[in-house]
Chains A and B, each alone.
Chain A
């Protein structure tokens, strides 16, 4: 399988007062196209930091992170914005939908940045909404949606541009069990049908049940990296 992310000796430190806090220590990982992988670990273990660096929202203090051949540390603001816009999709714990836009407009947003023609945008948005089963909510505002629907819109917004990598930070933390499974099934379907690589930061057992690779982090270090056999993966 094609390798799309390579992480070599990654260390990330944050200034805290006069000192420094090390969030990630000498991480070495590699991810391939079509993976369905999760970073698990307690709060403060570095899951979100790792996801942010892969998403080029943050940069390494030391080491190198190559995403689709681009060294995150050496990208300009514009280049990293292009990388995010074209190849990366983000799903957040709190959905982060734009409250003044409709569902349709929220999903369309990423495509507007790509300056696609209106007809092409419309088709892509409706396809994405169909994927997540929300075509009937296209004209609703985020405030009119349930938590599960909100997160499905966030997924549609992330996948509408068909990114190579989806980064999901605690995507089910605000959802009940039924909605969590619904969301995870949607993401799994995307992963299988579009070969989109999914990377999760989670400590939700329900998510872990769907993962095919689990990387455990503790105090910024990888303590375990295990492949899950297909027959062990929870269905529904």
Chain B
């Protein structure tokens, strides 16, 4: 307690230098929280969107289905068994049939994935009901990315060519019944959504599916031959991207923190150099060397505490405002290949704030202790004379 009291007095006595140190450290403190808040907000939004638009509460995969291997698609389908059909009818599972095809926008050929989805499904947020209500002969849905790629809009027609289950080519002109805006690129880029029954008919695979998306009521577990993939598995790639994003961000705010800590380190080194007489006097008045080391170390901690208070003063309103209005992502971010909203709303959890407070206090204390250790080796008689040791 005494060390804190003395440290506070010494720090306030140092005036403007103290303010500069505190300002730099508080800036690092606020930036760390803001950056992590953005990443956490992004993470939560990306997970939520991916669950709502793509993976539901998990998926049942055909054993041959490999989403990264298009050549697996022709073999990755199976008829739905009676129990599965019952679950589909109850709305607990949404079957999706997937096949490869070629589209011919503006006379060019482009490889696409055709996905058949039931217009009545409510598990995914894909506006599949439009496939039923459009009244077109061969309605199809595409996402905004796909629409941009193939320069198509609602009402435009597009020629498709595909192979049926026997490998025979067939072709059809579809009508874009709707363009949906979604943050999840894996259900948008290079994909065309058709009514499930229409795609089954086109491929000659009546009653079959490639995957089934589970809804809230589904209890989990596989249904042979279907293999259940839970959310953790399906979100693993996304988690990895978020982690690498966090790692990259950590380097930036780590550098910022290092600059702030360097200022404290520098101040402490200078303090010990300049305050030799004071150190000698502390010892002469009855402090042990380690008690003096304690004062100087605590001074570093006090810097961090004051920085946190200052950071809370200006950072609190700023962070609150940023959480309220969000952070608009640049247009190019839609091409990053991962789920990213047009506006990310940072999320500042208690854990994040506590972790950052601990990080700042701990690192500031350590960088103060490092130069302060020298005091333990000082000769008090030389220190009293102000002799540099």
Q: Which residues of A contact B (CB under 8 A)?
A: 48-49, 52, 55, 57-58, 77-78, 81-82, 84-86, 90, 92, 94, 96, 98-101, 105, 109-110, 112-113, 157
Contact = CB atoms under 8 A, between A and B. Distances in A.
B286 A110 contact: yes
Contacts of B331: none
By CB atoms of chain A within 10 A, which of B12, B281, B289 has the most?
B281
B284 A90 contact: yes
A113 B384 contact: no
16 contacts: A58-B381, A82-B286, A85-B285, A85-B287, A94-B277, A96-B277, A96-B284, A100-B10, A100-B13, A100-B14, A101-B9, A110-B285, A112-B2, A112-B5, A113-B2, A113-B286
A9 B379 CA distance: 23
Contacts of A58: 379-381
A96 B2 contact: no
A24 to B, nearest CB: 13
Nearest to A76: B288
B278 interface: yes
Nearest to B14: A100
A78 B288 contact: yes
Interface string B13-35: 11000000000000000000000
Q: Which of A55, A81, A99, A157 has the most CB of B within 10 A?
A: A81
Contact of B286 (A86, A99, A105): A86
A57 B287 CA distance: 11
Give the top 3 A-B pairs by smallest Cβ distance, nearest first.
A85-B286, A100-B13, A96-B281
B280 A96 contact: yes
Interface in B256-290: 277-278, 280-281, 283-290
Contacts of B277: 94, 96
B289 A77 contact: yes
Nearest to A83: B286
A90 B380 CA distance: 13
Nearest to B379: A58
Interface centre among B10, B280, B285, B381 (most CB of A within 10 A): B285
Given A84-B285, A100-B13, 15 more contacts: A55-B284, A58-B381, A81-B287, A81-B291, A82-B286, A84-B284, A85-B285, A90-B284, A90-B285, A96-B278, A96-B281, A98-B281, A99-B13, A100-B14, A110-B285
Contacts of B291: 81
Which of B14, B283, B286, B287 has most chain A Cβ within 10 Å? B286
A141 to B, nearest CB: 9
A165 to B, nearest CB: 13
A159 to B, nearest CB: 12
A98 B278 contact: yes
Given A100-B9, A100-B12, A113-B2, A81 B286 contact: yes
